[in-house]
Amino acid sequence: MSRISGLISEQMSLQRKNRTLLAMISLVLGITMIAQAVLLAEVVQRIFVEKASFSSVITLLGLLLAVMVIRTLLFYSNGKVGLHMAARAKTNMRSAVLQSLIYTSMPSTLRGQTGGKVSIALDAVDEADQYFSQYMPRMMEAAMIPILILIVTFYLHSNTGWILLCTAPFIPLFMILVGLKTKNKSEEKYTQLAEFSGTFLDSLQGLVSLKIFGRANHQQQEIERSSLGYRDATMSILKIAFTNTFMLESIVMLSIGIVALELALQLLVFKSMAFHTAFLILLLIPEFYSLLKNTGTAFHSGRTSMGAICKVDQMLAESQITSELEDIGQSTSASNQQIMKSQHTSTTLDQSTPLSIELEDVHFHYGTDSFELQTGNISFQAGEHIAIVGKSGSGKTTLLHLIAGLLKPTSGEVLVNRKVLSESQQSAWFRQVSYITQHPYIFAGTIAENISIGAGRQVSTAEIEQAAEEAGLTVLIDQLQQGLETVIGDGGRGLSGGEKQRLALARAFLKRPTIILFDEPTVGLDLHTEQVLQRSIALLSQKATMITVAHRLYTIQDADQIVFMDHGAVVDTGRHDELIGRLPLYAEMVNVQQKGGIA
């Protein structure tokens, strides 16, 4: 609850001007409502009681019309200001969600279901709309106008004033009771929606595997189950909303009935009241209750929005906790950093020459009781070609991610050119690195667009063609009717694994990195593709330090240095002939390789 008010009050303080505007409009709106009732009562009094001529009330009718127009305009402006506040709040919240996804570390961003995150970033933020566009303006009106009406009623006839004062609190009291229940239900609804979106997206992405393993039916049932869960959560909120409306209407009808009865007694039995006063009060009373009733409905949507905002807030809080935990992790390494500061000060990253990399007793774990990695002290000279080898699950990819800076060491340091990289150098570092994974991400767009993202700048078609040529993509592009403009990725033409890796290489050719991280394909490619890939990699790595998670014997044999990993530890480093002689585990692995297996 405190965090909810945190996010809302943050938006409120950002929108102080709009709130003042809302309050002022509401106050004037109240005055026009009372003025309208007074003028109408006066006209009716003159025409029907005093039997005045129509022409004598023309000015009053003109005034009445003007007040009605002003009232409509004010009501419209209140809505407009609310919408404006909602639009601003939504933009702020969405950018907060995006920032938290972008700036937290890679593992925490990838944690959880993608569909769930999308549903929070889009649907939950959209739901927050009602808090600002409905709840705020109605609450502001409810805080001002009924008090004005109450003062006027007390002035006109105190008995009615007392009746209003006694019956009115039932409405907010009832609203609070219902609202509290709605908020919990609304949070439940968002959990259900996030689960539904997540299950649906996961099923879509894994459709092929699901079909092959005969799990499509089971997954269909899963989708059905979570969609029914979402339906039930929505229906139970609607049920509360309808009951809420029914109860509110009943309270309002009853209260107006009591006031009308009292007025009738005063007017007809005791004859202690003028028609004009009674009629004016009768005009004002429904306005009074209708405002409170509207507030009830707005309160209901406000609570629903709060449930949604709470979900957004939770997501932001989680990423905050992760980043705080990372900070603690970093401060451990920061203390090491302090010790080393005398030896290593920040490096300057030079785009033109290859960089050296050192790992100083790097330790890493994904979480408590999970896989642990420790490197000891190893160094890679500038321009060297390194092969990381070891069994599947030994930590090769984790090591590559630590070198890339995608993961942060729990302790120890990764040094570049013998210096620690500072936070501010991160983007300069990423400009130097190309990471060619086994499954590069292909964005929905043309081949040209997909290649050009590698450059991080505007590039000409000639440059893209050159990069495609160097990466061995030209044969494929020539076969396609639309060539470089062929749409690939989500919804476009599919690419084979080898083609995707060549596309990633083309991106790297545009970038000309000084550090290449390469996850060599584990699957056997056809001879031609294999040759093209080898030639391109060799060309690209001429002026770079290259670190390969290697599975091919020739890559391993040709490496300047081999890092042999087992169960998360760097067991030994050295050249092929050195390791063959002194490391039986390595000799055994090479033996398996020679017989045609892969690491």
Based on CB atoms, which residue is closest to ligand ADP, 395 or 513?
395
Based on CB atoms, which residue is closest to ligand ADP, 286 or 597?
597
Distance of CA 59 to the CA centre of its chain: 58
* CB of residue 392 to ligand ADP, shortest distance in Å: 4
Site string for ligand ADP, 521-540 (x = CB under 6 A): --------------------
The single-letter DSSP state of residue 444 is S
Amino acid residing at 237: I
Pairing of strands 372-374, 377-380: unpaired
* CB of residue 402 to ligand ADP, shortest distance in Å: 10
The radius of gyration of the chain from alpha carbons, rounded to an integer in Å, stands at 36
Which tokens in the block code for residue 29? 């709106």
* CB of residue 120 to ligand ADP, shortest distance in Å: 21
Based on CB atoms, which residue is closest to ligand ADP, 138 or 396?
396
* CB of residue 308 to ligand ADP, shortest distance in Å: 29
Stretch that binds ligand ADP, among 331-339, 364-372, 505-513, 531-539 (CB under 6 A): 364-372
Based on CB atoms, which residue is closest to ligand ADP, 36 or 548?
548
Residue 466: closest CA among 507, 429, 436, 411? 507
401 Cβ contact partners less than 8 Å away, ≥ 6 residues apart:
106, 407
* CB of residue 21 to ligand ADP, shortest distance in Å: 49
Based on CB atoms, which residue is closest to ligand ADP, 281 or 414?
414
79 binds ligand ADP, rule: CB under 6 A: no
245 binds ligand ADP, rule: CB under 6 A: no
Based on CB atoms, which residue is closest to ligand ADP, 206 or 393?
393
Based on CB atoms, which residue is closest to ligand ADP, 368 or 479?
368
68 Cβ contact partners less than 8 Å away, ≥ 6 residues apart:
36
Amino acid residing at 563: V
Strands (E), 301-343: none
107 binds ligand ADP, rule: CB under 6 A: yes
Based on CB atoms, which residue is closest to ligand ADP, 146 or 395?
395
371 binds ligand ADP, rule: CB under 6 A: yes
Residue 125: closest CA among 302, 310, 297? 310
* CB of residue 517 to ligand ADP, shortest distance in Å: 12
Residue-wise over 87-98: b if at least 16 C-beta within 10 A, else e?
A: eebbebbbebbe
Taking the CA atoms of 422, 427, 429 and 430 in sequence, report the sign of the dihedral they define.
positive
* CB of residue 100 to ligand ADP, shortest distance in Å: 19
Based on CB atoms, which residue is closest to ligand ADP, 17 or 567?
567
Tokens 């014997």: give the residue. Answer: 553
Based on CB atoms, which residue is closest to ligand ADP, 463 or 566?
566
In terms of residues, how long is the chain?
Answer: 599
Taking the CA atoms of 533, 538, 543 and 545 in sequence, report the sign of the dihedral they define.
positive
Neighbours of 215 (CB within 10 A): 14
* CB of residue 436 to ligand ADP, shortest distance in Å: 15
Check: CB of residue 509 under 8 Å from CB of residue 540. yes
**Alpha-carbon span 244 to 240, nearest angstrom:** 6
366 binds ligand ADP, rule: CB under 6 A: yes
**Alpha-carbon span 542 to 516, nearest angstrom:** 11
Based on CB atoms, which residue is closest to ligand ADP, 74 or 516?
516
Based on CB atoms, which residue is closest to ligand ADP, 107 or 445?
107
Site string for ligand ADP, 459-478 (x = CB under 6 A): --------------------
* CB of residue 581 to ligand ADP, shortest distance in Å: 24
* 283 Rama class: left (phi>0) / alpha (psi -120 to 50) / beta: alpha
Based on CB atoms, which residue is closest to ligand ADP, 394 or 548?
394
Binding-residue total with ligand ADP (CB under 6 A): 12
* CB of residue 407 to ligand ADP, shortest distance in Å: 9
* CB of residue 368 to ligand ADP, shortest distance in Å: 11
**Alpha-carbon span 353 to 364, nearest angstrom:** 29
370 binds ligand ADP, rule: CB under 6 A: yes
Site string for ligand ADP, 381-400 (x = CB under 6 A): ---------x-xxxxxxx--
The single-letter DSSP state of residue 57 is G
**Alpha-carbon span 479 to 463, nearest angstrom:** 20
* 104 Rama class: left (phi>0) / alpha (psi -120 to 50) / beta: beta
Angle at alpha carbon of residue 119, lines to 115 and 125, rounded to 5° = 155
What DSSP letter does each residue of 572-590 carry, written as one string?
EEE-HHHHHHH-HHHHHHH
* CB of residue 345 to ligand ADP, shortest distance in Å: 31
Pairing of strands 357-365, 377-380: antiparallel
112 binds ligand ADP, rule: CB under 6 A: no
* CB of residue 371 to ligand ADP, shortest distance in Å: 4
Footprint (CB under 6 A) of ligand ADP, residues 398-427: 398
Stretch that binds ligand ADP, among 365-373, 422-430, 476-484, 500-508 (CB under 6 A): 365-373
Stretch that binds ligand ADP, among 133-141, 366-374, 432-440, 461-469 (CB under 6 A): 366-374
Tokens 């800076």: give the residue. Answer: 405
Residues that bind ligand ADP (CB under 6 A): 107, 366, 370-371, 390, 392-398
